[in-house]
Amino acid sequence: MKTRTIKVIPNSPADEVIEAEPLIVRVKAPPTKGKANKAVINLLSHHFNANVRIVAGATSRKKVVEIDQKD
């Protein structure tokens, strides 16, 4: 299990993960009612093929996520 700092950009034209420091995650979803957070978790889960959860910054563009590799 490891943690990564990410920067989220909601309302983007496409969903994508940009390998940088911090990791940049662009999602189409708006930052309302947790829609962007759900999109971020879904996108990162597929990107890393792992279970992902937000551990800090749920209402901020800068977040800390925990990545737990699937068995």
CATH of residue 6's domain is 3.30.1200.10
Any idea which residue has 């800390």 for tokens?
Answer: 64
| Peptide bond connecting 10 to the previous residue in cis, omega within 30 degrees of 0 | no
pTM listed for this prediction: 0.93
Q: How confident is the model at residue 70 (pLDDT cuts 50, 70, 90)?
A: confident
Provide the residue range defining the domain that includes 51.
Answer: 2-69
> Could you report the per-residue pLDDT of 5-40, keeping only the tens digit for each?
999 999 999 999 999 999 999 999 999 999 999 999
The pLDDT value given to residue 41: 97
Q: What is the pLDDT of residue 44?
A: 97
Residue 64 · residue 57 · CB < 8 Å: yes
pLDDT band at 48 (very low <50, low <70, confident <90, very high): very high
Q: Report the domain count for the chain.
A: 1
